[in-house]
């Protein structure tokens, strides 16, 4: 698979009984691709992967692969409490027909580097699928710095990309300085694609794209292609919404934007709850103000 462009970290839609809405998933992923997304990333943090059973994860992957029928790669987030379960999910994903894997550190256990390194290594070695390493020290308490990434790239040929979510855009150039074009570097936060492109990023794993794919793809393409003024004009409009991806309530907020554009619902699984009324109303006011001034793209 090619690691480039805007890949959507999709939310997981739920029915009223909080079972997974597979019909909506099939509709949603094709809508995202119709608007220019180059890949689909299910089962991540935004997808509430920690609330999904193993079998639910497998069925979501089947739905994505079947619905897209090869239009773009499906690259699930591989996250688990144990290395054994992560490896099992890798093998299931390959059997279903996924094109790549996005490796997360183990949930809960923030161990020493030799333990985290072994966990990533087991994921990379579980299949021959191309892999992306997801570095998000803010969320997971594990920081895989550029030097560690370079070592992993040297040891594992199928490690092909990094999703960089430390919040430090300098990491893009630091990784590129160590590995050159050996790895593709992706912006991993919604409020960094403009800066990341100018630093050498080749892609963006995006969240608000679930609701606003046309604007997301246009922002990335303008930034990548050096259209600095046009890109920043769109970025300035988009930033209040993009920053909703960087707070603890990011799942609820992004699903709220989806609801406002008619492409999803607010339903989340516990322990998450719907936003409290004052917080929800403040978010709605901001969302509606931005949508009322939506630029022509």
Positions annotated as catalytic residues are 134, 163
Distance of CA 262 to the CA centre of its chain: 21
Which residues, including other chains, have CB under 8 Å from residue 170's CB and lie 6 or more apart?
Answer: 199
d(Cα 293, Cα 209) in Å, to the nearest integer? 18
Tell me what percent of the chain is helix, strand and coil, each rounded to the nearest 5: 50, 10, 40
List the beta bridge partners of residue 9.
Answer: 41
Number of H helices, E strands in the chain: 12, 8
List the beta strands (DSSP E) in 58-126: 77-78, 101-103
3-state secondary structure at position 192: coil
d(Cα 222, Cα 269) in Å, to the nearest integer? 36
d(Cα 252, Cα 11) in Å, to the nearest integer? 10
CB atoms within 10 A of CB 125: 14
d(Cα 131, Cα 253) in Å, to the nearest integer? 29
129: left (phi over 0), alpha (psi -120 to 50) or beta: beta
List the beta bridge partners of residue 164.
Answer: 135, 187
CA-based nearest residue to 131, from 157, 149, 155: 157
């Amino acid at each position: 698979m090619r690691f480039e462009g805007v890949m959507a970290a999709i939310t997981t839609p739920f029915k009223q009984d909080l079972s997974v809405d597979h019909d909506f998933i099939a509709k949603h992923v094709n809508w995202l691709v119709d608007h220019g997304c180059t890949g689909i990333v299910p089962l991540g943090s935004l997808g509430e992967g920690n609330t999904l059973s193993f079998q639910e994860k497998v069925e979501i992957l089947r739905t994505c692969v079947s619905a897209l029928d090869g239009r773009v790669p499906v690259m699930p987030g591989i996250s688990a409490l144990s290395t054994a379960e992560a490896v099992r999910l890798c093998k299931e994903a390959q059997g279903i027909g996924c094109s790549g894997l996005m490796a997360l550190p183990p949930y809960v256990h923030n161990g020493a580097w030799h333990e985290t390194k072994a966990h990533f290594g087991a994921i990379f070695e579980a299949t021959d699928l191309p892999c992306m390493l997801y570095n998000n020290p803010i969320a997971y308490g594990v920081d895989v710095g550029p030097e560690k990434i370079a070592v992993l790239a040297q040891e594992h040929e199928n490690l092909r990309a990094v999703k960089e979510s430390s919040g430090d855009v300098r990491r893009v150039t630091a990784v590129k300085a160590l590995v050159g074009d050996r790895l593709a570097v992706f912006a991993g936060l919604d409020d960094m694609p403009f800066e990341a492109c100018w630093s050498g990023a080749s892609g963006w794993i995006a969240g608000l794209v679930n609701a606003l794919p046309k604007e997301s793809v246009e922002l990335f393409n303008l930034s990548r292609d050096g259209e600095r003024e046009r890109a920043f004009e769109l970025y300035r409009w988009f930033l209040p919404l993009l920053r909703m991806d960087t707070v603890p309530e990011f799942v609820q907020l992004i699903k709220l934007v989806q609801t406002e554009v008619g492409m999803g619902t607010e339903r989340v699984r516990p322990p998450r709850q719907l936003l409290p009324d004052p917080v929800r109303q403040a978010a709605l006011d901001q969302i509606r103000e931005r949508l009322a001034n939506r630029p022509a793209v």
